[in-house]
Structure 1
């Protein structure tokens, strides 16, 4: 596959920071949250409240630090042989020749989501969107994260090729979960995204996990009234 380093986008959006929720942006007049928050939402919604609405700061975990380091190393290696390209040109070129890119930014103002895809394979017959995770267990939260990347990519491009979402064991070639982005999957992730927006708009409550194991390992446990 040809390697394309996405360096720009033809379309620009009006963007500003949300006045009270850290990390939330307002893009084209609509709240817009990072897709990675779906992973956190699946672990414990109350983490979102503590970190982004109350503004509680904690030190990154060892797993977070290690993950960031590996991402940076892979990105540096990729850029050495990649050809600079706009997002739109890379998508169009892939209809004839298979291409791949890393850290590909996608944004869907319509759905209020944005994020960076770890790796994307754009082939003439299909699109494969890959998110790297530690371990080999496909949790609902990590699957939802990939599904949202698929939704954002589809909304940005209108691409009619088959889209697949995949989870890969970090630092390996092992795709341990892969799923076709069907209309049913699309409907499901839209529902979850709408719940997220309800949390930030105050129309839905943040629900804390009832799993004591999650509480014991949570980096917010000293600041959480629900900690078990």
Structure 2
């Protein structure tokens, strides 16, 4: 596949930072949050509250730092041989000849989401959207994250090609989970995004996890009123 380094977009949006919630932008009158937050929401919604509503900061873990280093290394290698193209040019050209891109920005103001796709394969007959993760376990939270990338890409392009969501073991070629982005899956992820919007506009409460193992390993446990030491 050709390598396309996407470096531009035809459409730009007026962006305002949310006055109270760190990381939230207001785009076309709607709260817009990073798609990566879906991973945190699936882990523990109250962690989102502590980090972004309360503004509590904690040091990055060694695992987070290592993952970021690998991510940047792969991106640098990719750019060495990639051909520059706008998002629209890459999508259109892929209808005739397959290509792959990394760090592709997608945004869907109507759903209040934005983020960077780790890797996307655009083929004449299908689109494969890939998110790199440590390990080989497809958690519900990570599945939702890549589903939201699919939704945002579809919103931007109105592309009718078959679309697949995939999770890949970081630093390898192992796609350990893949699914077709069906209308049923699309409906489910839209429902989750509506819940997220409710969290940020105050109409729904942040629900803490009931998993004690998650609590024990949480970076925010010392600040959490729900954490119970054993």
Pairing 1:163–2:145 present: no
Give 1:61 shift.
1.1
Residues in 2 aligned to 1:61 and 1:50: alpha-carbon distance in whole angstroms: 17
Pairing 1:112–2:112 present: yes
Alpha-carbon deviations, 1:88-121, whole Å to 9, x = none? 0000000000000000000000100000000000
Equivalent residue, structure 2, for 1:9: 9
Equivalent residue, structure 2, for 1:84: 84
Give 1:16 shift.
1.1
Equivalent residue, structure 2, for 1:42: 42
Equivalent residue, structure 2, for 1:150: 150
Moved over 2 A (4+): none
Residues in 2 aligned to 1:104 and 1:227: alpha-carbon distance in whole angstroms: 37
Q: How does 1:19-58 map to 2 (within 5 A)?
A: 19-58=19-58
Residues in 1 aligned to 2:47 and 2:158: alpha-carbon distance in whole angstroms: 34
Equivalent residue, structure 1, for 2:176: 176
Give 1:185 shift.
0.1
Residues in 2 aligned to 1:224 and 1:69: alpha-carbon distance in whole angstroms: 29
Which sections of structure 2, spanning at least 5 residues, go unmatched? none
Pairing 1:187–2:184 present: no
Q: Tell me how many residue pairs correspond in the alignment.
A: 228
Pairing 1:208–2:212 present: no
Give 1:63 shift.
1.3
Equivalent residue, structure 2, for 1:124: 124
Residues in 2 aligned to 1:186 and 1:66: alpha-carbon distance in whole angstroms: 32
Which sections of structure 1, spanning at least 5 residues, go unmatched? none
Residues in 2 aligned to 1:64 and 1:25: alpha-carbon distance in whole angstroms: 24
Aligned residues: CA RMSD: 0.4
